[in-house]
Amino acid sequence: MQKRFIFLFITTILLTLFVLYSCNESNIVENKKIEKQDKPVLKKVINNENETGIDLNNQSISKVAKGDTVKRKDIKGKEIITPKKPACDWKTVEVWEIDHYEPKPGKIVGVWPYYHSTSYLKNLRTKWGYSGIHTINHTVYGNAISAGFNKQNIMADCTFPTGTTEYKDKINNSDASYYYIGEAVNHKCLGNEGKRLYSPDELNDVISYIHNHRYGSKFISDGYKRCGHFDVLAGIVDKIMFSSYKHWYKVNLPGCYTNMGWGEDYENYMWWSGDYDQRPDWSDMKSRYGSKFSMTWISTFEITEFDNLFGHAKNLGLNSVWVYGYTDNGVPVAHYNDEWDNISYYAWDEGFLRQFRRKYYYTYHCLEPDPCSNCDDPDAMWVLDSVYKSGEIKEFYP
């Protein structure tokens, strides 16, 4: 009997230990599951401003840069914040890059474009800040209107053949603030330039028609030899421009027969071209013609002069600078489409345009074998990994 009692007692103790061990093992497994669940792996955030990254708990997160904090939720739903440390071999740099230019109130940067598609003209207006445009015919005028140009800053060409009144149709069909006949009296000493030249009577007819049919619009012409015929032209038109990209100076040498049929038949002086710096001519134009000289031409080939030319235009109080990009053969200069950024930059620098920049994030990766020791070296090898275009734009000032 006593042996039986001892056997039952030992059996009971062993059964109790087995039950306790089994319960404890299930808790250990459950704890391991919890511990594993508490270590989420974040998916890679795609560098696109229209997308967001998603963490393992399906919590949407906004864009983060290295060094920012990352928010997520633990298994109980409580939000926790863990600092995201930057790695030694990665860095992100903020850069403000030029996004576009806009017109400056009271100023016009105009263009005589070689290409006339609506998309091309729109890019000149929205990207480079051109608010003025010369239109060679009504088709180009229509494209300019479609591209968003305001008729208040359109210069419509109204050149016409000898003995016709074709200018009337051009003025009637294109509602503009400026009507233009180029170099209307610019002659050589032994005849004309091989192009149409105009008499005072014709020019007076044109300006009368403009004033009577386009109230408030102006008649514009230009030239560069400030002779007696040019003085007559400047007296007729509303605005006079300088059309050369060289310096022209007067030489007291006889022998200039104008062959114009009006004004001086013989001039006892000549005009010679000098270097490629027309600023002295602009100053002379301002001295001669005052407020009538408030706008002028520059050329896209004047690569190294844009800062000086816009600066001198500002010093003279000009309110409009117009850009011309043709060669003497009627084709665009070789780098016609390469200079828009330089022209607009110096126009902004001298107060003719407004400049707007966009923030970008440039992310670089260091390729040194020991990043934390070597990547701080100025000569360390950093390579561009990605560029993030933000939506932040702001105006910059010279």
How many angstroms from the chain centroid is the CA of residue 299?
A: 18
Token representation of residue 375:
């990547």
Tell me: the pLDDT tens digits for 370-380? 888 888 888 88
Rg of the Cα atoms in the chain: 38
Structure token pair of residue 350? 């001298």
Give 45-76 pLDDT, tens digit per residue.
Answer: 334 443 333 333 333 333 334 333 333 333 34
Separation CA 392–CA 365 (nearest Å): 24
Which CATH topology does 98-341 take? Answer: TIM Barrel (3.20.20)
Give φ, ψ of 112 to 5 degrees: -105, 95
Exposure b/e, 351-373, CB count within 10 A at least 16 = b: bbbbbbbbbbbebbbbebeebee
Listed in order, the ranges of the chain carrying CATH 3.20.20.80 are 98-341
- Per-residue pLDDT, averaged over 12-29, amounts to 53
Query: pLDDT-derived band of residue 27, with 50, 70 and 90 as boundaries?
Result: very low
pLDDT reported for residue 259: 84
Tally the C-alpha atoms within 13 A of residue 131's C-alpha that lie toward its C-beta: 19
Q: Which residues pair with 84 in a beta bridge?
A: none
Q: What is the 3-state secondary structure (H, E, C) of 38-51?
A: CCCCCCCCCCCCCC
**Residue whose C-alpha is closest to residue 196's, from 160, 240, 234:** 160
Give the pLDDT confidence score for residue 13 in this predicted structure.
63
pLDDT surpassing 60 at residue 111: yes
Lowest mean pLDDT among 20-24, 88-92, 287-291, 295-299: 20-24
For residue 378 the two structure tokens come to 């100025």
Cα distance between residue 222 and residue 180, in whole Å:
9
Give the pLDDT confidence score for residue 379 in this predicted structure: 87
Kind and range of the H or E run holding 394: strand 382-396
Residue 240 near residue 186 (C-beta atoms within 8 A): no
Residue type, 180: Y
How large is the average pLDDT for residues 214-221? Answer: 97
Residue 54 structure tokens: 């998603």
Q: Are 272 and 256 in contact (CB under 8 A)?
A: no
